[in-house]
């Protein structure tokens, strides 16, 4: 210990002053050496935990007030409701939060190390005998390495957000397709019920003719066969409707007992290829993942450059000295000193390999972006062609095909009632009406499925995103 007769402040409190100096130095290292790392980390930390889809933001369902399912009146509302509360979407958002938390931790200086040596045979110096040795050290990574680490973690956040965006688009795609399959099954079931009622009316008219002596008993038997065939179709359509409802509830992640809404508005009527391609280059999941890959490649290049720079270790050491029970003149002054060490980057082969890895990652991301853009244009062009073709066929039905078929059946049925037409003609025109009605609703389903393919190809989740 110091000589009690000495009153020099520097000799009585070297520990406090020395360790305070190192604390100030360590606290100032991050803003001086790694301001970019702090900036990147703060940027990711402040980013809202949502997935942006043009005008729609997907976030935790708990933070949103969702309408009751039965009160939904448009397909866009149903998609929003389904995405917000879907467990797969919530899992993706949790992945984003996890990646964001890692970014918050990245870029910080390593924890300082403290060493104490209170026991042992220690050195004797001119000041006295050392009774305690203490040290504190702080490792300071090479300039640029912390910011590269933060940039790499930020790329992981971007990748997690891209997967969340893709998950939202996939959920919307499945709901759209399930909704149109359900609508088609409902239409088919309704048509068969109506046609069964119509055939029963025709049978009653035939029975009246037979009783009046102007009809054939064989016609009654033959139409009875057709009625049984329609009843069989009823069961088939009911099974298809049951399966379609189950598929829709699965896509919405709801129970089998949950009632479904009756939608009114199902989407837009016109699409523009240029607008869809532009949106795809912003919102498609593979585009967003590619952007994350490019950011990761830039981080690899920054890390490779940082490896060529030396890192440092600063240290402060302190020896407690005791001059009691020692012969000769001793001062009893404690000892302290400050030191700096640095690495010497010499293994240039490994540094060159890191450079090659970063360059290859950049090339991979660039070529991948070109391939994605080609897929975007191909997918949208194919879906648009199908959508236009199906709509053109629907227009033929709307322009009079259904009305003409119905008029032909009514005429034949009327002619049969007054004896100027045969049973075969009546049944032939009825089958034509049934076939055309089912084909018409199949086309309406197909145009809905084509729309789902088109929007999915463009990375569009809601039709409202297409509003200029």
Distance CA 201, CA 317 (A): 106
Give the helix ranges, DSSP H, for 309-401: 348-396
Q: What share of the chain is helix, strand, coil (3-state, %, to 5)?
A: 70, 10, 20
At 37 the pLDDT is: 55
Per-residue pLDDT tens, the chain, 468 aa: give them: 444 444 343 344 444 444 444 444 444 444 444 555 555 555 555 554 444 433 334 444 444 556 788 888 888 889 999 998 899 999 999 999 898 888 877 777 888 999 988 877 777 666 677 888 899 999 988 888 888 888 899 999 999 999 999 999 999 999 999 999 999 999 999 999 998 998 888 888 888 888 887 778 888 888 889 899 999 999 999 999 999 999 999 999 999 888 888 876 665 568 889 999 999 999 999 999 999 999 999 999 999 998 889 999 999 998 888 766 555 555 667 888 899 999 888 888 888 998 999 999 999 999 999 999 999 999 999 999 999 999 999 999 998 888 999 899 888 888 877 777 788 888 888 889 999 999 999 999 999 999 999 999 999 888 877 765
Q: Count the neighbouring beta carbons within 10 Å of the beta carbon of residue 94.
A: 14
What is the domain extent for residue 435? 34-108+141-309+345-466
Kindly state whether residue 315 falls inside one of the protein's structural domains: no
At 36 the pLDDT is: 56
Distance CA 137, CA 22 (A): 8
Kindly state whether residue 160 falls inside one of the protein's structural domains: yes
At 87 the pLDDT is: 93
The total number of structural domains in the chain stands at 1
Kindly state whether residue 11 falls inside one of the protein's structural domains: no
322 close to 131: Cβ distance less than 8 angstroms: yes
Distance CA 297, CA 291 (A): 10
Give the single-character DSSP code of 285. H
- What does the H/E/C string look like for 144-179? CHHHHHHHHHHHHHHHHHHHHHHHHHHHHHHHHHHH
Distance CA 222, CA 216 (A): 10
113 close to 136: Cβ distance less than 8 angstroms: yes
Kindly state whether residue 116 falls inside one of the protein's structural domains: no
For the entire predicted model, the pTM comes to 0.79
78 close to 258: Cβ distance less than 8 angstroms: no
Kindly state whether residue 210 falls inside one of the protein's structural domains: yes
330 close to 32: Cβ distance less than 8 angstroms: no
At 61 the pLDDT is: 42
Which CATH number belongs to the domain containing residue 61 in this structure? 1.20.1600.10
* CB crowding 30-51: b at 16 or more within 10 Å, else e: beebbebbbebbeebeeeeebb
Kindly state whether residue 114 falls inside one of the protein's structural domains: no
Kindly state whether residue 66 falls inside one of the protein's structural domains: yes
Kindly state whether residue 21 falls inside one of the protein's structural domains: no
Distance CA 128, CA 136 (A): 23
Question: How far separated are the first and last CA of the chain, in Å rounded?
Answer: 81
Quick one: how many helices (H) and strands (E) in the chain? 12, 7
Q: 223: closest CA among 422, 437, 410, 407?
A: 422
Residue with tokens 């803003």: 31
């Amino acid at each position: 210990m110091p000589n009690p007769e000495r009153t020099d402040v520097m000799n009585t409190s070297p520990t406090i002053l020395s360790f305070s100096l190192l604390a100030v130095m360590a606290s100032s290292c991050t803003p001086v050496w790694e301001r970019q790392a702090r900036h990147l980390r703060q940027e990711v930390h402040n980013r809202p935990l949502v997935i942006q889809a043009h005008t729609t933001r997907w976030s935790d369902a708990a933070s949103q007030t969702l309408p009751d399912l039965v009160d939904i009146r448009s397909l866009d509302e149903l998609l929003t409701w389904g995405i917000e509360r879907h467990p797969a979407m919530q899992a993706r958002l949790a992945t984003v939060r996890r990646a964001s938390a890692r970014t918050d931790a990245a870029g910080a200086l390593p924890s300082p190390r403290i060493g104490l040596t209170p026991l042992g045979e220690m050195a004797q110096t001119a000041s006295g005998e050392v009774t305690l040795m203490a040290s504190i050290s702080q490792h300071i990574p090479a300039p640029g390495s912390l910011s590269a680490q933060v940039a790499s973690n930020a790329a992981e956040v971007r990748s997690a957000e891209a997967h969340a965006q893709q998950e939202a688009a996939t959920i919307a795609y499945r709901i759209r397709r399930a909704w149109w399959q359900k609508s088609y099954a409902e239409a088919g079931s309704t048509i068969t019920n109506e046609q069964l009622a119509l055939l029963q009316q025709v049978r009653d008219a035939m029975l009246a003719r037979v009783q009046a002596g102007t009809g054939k008993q064989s016609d009654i038997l033959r139409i009875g066969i057709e009625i049984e065939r329609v009843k069989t179709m009823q069961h088939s359509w009911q099974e298809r409707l049951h399966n379609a409802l189950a598929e829709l509830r699965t896509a919405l992640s709801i129970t089998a007992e949950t009632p479904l809404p009756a939608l009114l508005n199902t989407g837009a009527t016109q699409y523009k290829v240029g607008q869809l391609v532009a949106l795809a280059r912003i919102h498609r999941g593979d585009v967003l993942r590619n952007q994350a890959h490019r950011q990761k490649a830039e981080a690899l290049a920054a890390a490779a450059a940082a490896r060529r720079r030396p890192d440092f270790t600063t240290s402060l050491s302190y020896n407690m000295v005791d001059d009691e029970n020692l012969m000769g003149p001793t001062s009893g002054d404690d000892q302290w000193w400050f030191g700096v060490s640095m690495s010497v980057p010499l293994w240039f082969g490994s540094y060159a390999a890191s450079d090659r890895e970063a360059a290859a990652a950049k090339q991979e991301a660039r070529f991948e972006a070109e391939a994605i853009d080609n897929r975007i244009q191909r997918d949208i062009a194919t879906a648009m062609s199908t959508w236009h073709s199906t709509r053109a066929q629907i227009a033929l039905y709307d322009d009079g095909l259904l009305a003409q078929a119905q008029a032909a059946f009514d005429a034949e049925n009327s002619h049969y009632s007054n004896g100027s037409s045969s049973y075969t003609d009546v049944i032939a025109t009825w089958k034509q009406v049934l076939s055309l009605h089912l084909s018409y609703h199949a086309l309406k389903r197909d145009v809905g499925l084509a729309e789902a393919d088109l929007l999915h190809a463009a990375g569009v989740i809601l039709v409202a995103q297409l509003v200029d």
